[in-house]
């Protein structure tokens, strides 16, 4: 049933779109939405935008964790989601030592943008570049039992992390 709804959704999208703007400008708007609200307005006005750049906006907290820690009744398998994620509120990624399935590094390719004001990483190994991507707008960072590495494999100094995130009010 869900597959039939998906087919019906995309059926009318394939007809030619007649824009009052040049295609290059439409493409730029499509690939570079300025805010999540602008993107939501675009996809509400025309399904072409979602079909060409599918992004799911997550306004709630996003928890990626070992289920025994959080006792959630039904997990979401991110492997089955083909859309990118735009995280607005909080991101919390937690894993047991050595559990590669819940690594922040594996999650990053799924994320279009992270505007979350709060970032919690527990028992992670992450590159400094990945941390910068996730924490671009954070005010509170919690890196419990997390190792942040430079591109050469060395561990990033805490001082460097604090200097790089001037908006941060709380750094644990």
Span 139-163, pLDDT tens digits:
999 988 888 999 898 999 988 888 8
Domain shared by 31 and 65, yes or no: no
Q: How far apart are CA 171 and CA 164, in angstroms?
A: 12
pLDDT surpassing 90 at residue 59: no
Residue 43 within a domain: yes
Residue 8 within a domain: no
Residue 107 within a domain: yes
**What is the domain extent for residue 28?**
18-55
Q: What is the pTM of this model?
A: 0.76
Residue 128 within a domain: yes
Residue 63 within a domain: yes
Tell me the C-alpha to C-alpha distance, in Å, between residue 77 and each of 51, 74, 87: 21, 10, 17
Domain shared by 51 and 65, yes or no: no
pLDDT surpassing 70 at residue 18: yes
- Give the residue-averaged pLDDT of 39-61: 86
Residue 10 confidence (pLDDT): 56
Percent of the chain with pLDDT over 90: 15
- Give the residue-averaged pLDDT of 96-123: 78
Phi-psi domain of 98 (left: phi exceeds 0; alpha: psi -120 through 50; beta: other): left
Domain shared by 105 and 152, yes or no: yes
Would strands 84-87 and 147-149 be described as parallel, antiparallel, or unpaired? unpaired
Domain shared by 119 and 166, yes or no: yes
Domain shared by 23 and 101, yes or no: no
Handedness of CA 164, 31, 33, 58 (dihedral sign): negative
Residue 118 within a domain: yes
Residue 9 within a domain: no
Domain shared by 51 and 63, yes or no: no
| Number of folded domains that form the chain | 2
**How many CB atoms sit inside 10 A of residue 4's CB?**
8
Domain shared by 47 and 124, yes or no: no
Domain shared by 99 and 161, yes or no: yes
Domain shared by 126 and 150, yes or no: yes
Domain shared by 65 and 28, yes or no: no
Q: How far apart are CA 82 and CA 151, in angstroms?
A: 28
pLDDT in tens, 135-144: 888 999 998 8
Cβ within 8 Å of residue 120, ≥6 positions away: 90, 91, 92, 93, 94, 141, 142, 144
Residue 80 confidence (pLDDT): 73
pLDDT surpassing 60 at residue 126: yes
Spell out the alpha helix ranges (H) of the chain.
Answer: 2-11, 23-31, 36-45, 47-52, 67-70, 104-107, 128-134, 158-164
Domain shared by 92 and 48, yes or no: no
Q: How far apart are CA 84 and CA 107, in angstroms?
A: 10
Residue 33 within a domain: yes
Residue 80 near residue 3, CB atoms below 8 Å: no
Domain shared by 41 and 67, yes or no: no
With bands split at pLDDT 50, 70 and 90, how would you rate the model's confidence at 68?
Answer: very low
């Amino acid at each position: 049933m869900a597959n039939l709804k998906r087919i019906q959704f995309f059926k009318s999208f394939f007809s030619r779109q007649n824009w009052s703007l040049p295609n290059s400008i439409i493409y730029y708007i499509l690939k570079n939405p300025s805010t999540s609200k602008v993107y939501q307005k675009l996809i509400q006005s025309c399904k072409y935008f979602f079909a060409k750049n599918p992004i799911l906006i997550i306004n709630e907290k996003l928890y990626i964790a070992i289920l025994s820690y959080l006792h959630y009744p039904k997990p979401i398998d991110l492997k089955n989601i083909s859309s990118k994620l735009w995280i607005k509120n909080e991101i919390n990624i937690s894993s047991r030592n050595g559990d590669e399935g819940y690594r922040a590094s594996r999650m990053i390719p799924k994320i279009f943008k992270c505007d979350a004001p709060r970032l919690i990483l527990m028992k992670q190994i992450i590159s400094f570049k990945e941390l910068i991507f996730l924490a671009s707008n954070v005010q509170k960072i919690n890196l419990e039992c997390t190792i942040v590495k430079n591109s050469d494999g060395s561990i990033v100094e805490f001082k460097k992390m604090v200097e790089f995130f001037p908006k941060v009010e709380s750094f644990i």
